[in-house]
Amino acid sequence: MRESIIELRQEHPEYSISEISRLTGFSRYIVTRTLKEHGLQTKREHTIYTCPSCGKVVSKGVKLCRQCRHVTAICSYCGREIVRRRADENRAQKLGYRHRFCSKKCQALYMVMVRNVGK
């Protein structure tokens, strides 16, 4: 998975090509090419950028770190907290989904409950 190269770079701008190569198992040539293809730094970053939300080190141009890109929602049926990707949450909001479920089971139970109330 060449994505691991990109992820590693985005999370660790301070890593050199050889460190990424060692950690991902790809050759230095593949690592360099992959980074270039994605417009990412091939040289180790000296200026450290941090996530504005939690202060974790992120690569240049990244707005939020991976953790902060997630949001928590509450299951509409059982009330349990669900960790969702922020992008998914935004999409759900755009589509007008009002309910979030932690599992298919909760979704099904909720549907049954709503149907019974409607009677």
Residues that bind Zn ion (CB under 5 A): 51, 53-54, 56, 65, 68, 75, 77-78, 80, 102, 106
**Alpha-carbon gap, residue 38 to 45, rounded angstroms:** 16
The least distance separating Zn ion from the CB of residue 69, rounded to whole angstroms, comes to 8
- For Zn ion, the closer of residues 8 and 30 by Cβ is 8
**Alpha-carbon gap, residue 92 to 73, rounded angstroms:** 12
- For Zn ion, the closer of residues 27 and 50 by Cβ is 50
The least distance separating Zn ion from the CB of residue 106, rounded to whole angstroms, comes to 3
The least distance separating Zn ion from the CB of residue 34, rounded to whole angstroms, comes to 24
The least distance separating Zn ion from the CB of residue 5, rounded to whole angstroms, comes to 21
76 Cβ partners below 8 Å, 6+ apart? 98, 99, 100, 101, 106, 110
**Alpha-carbon gap, residue 41 to 76, rounded angstroms:** 43
**Alpha-carbon gap, residue 3 to 32, rounded angstroms:** 13
- For Zn ion, the closer of residues 31 and 65 by Cβ is 65
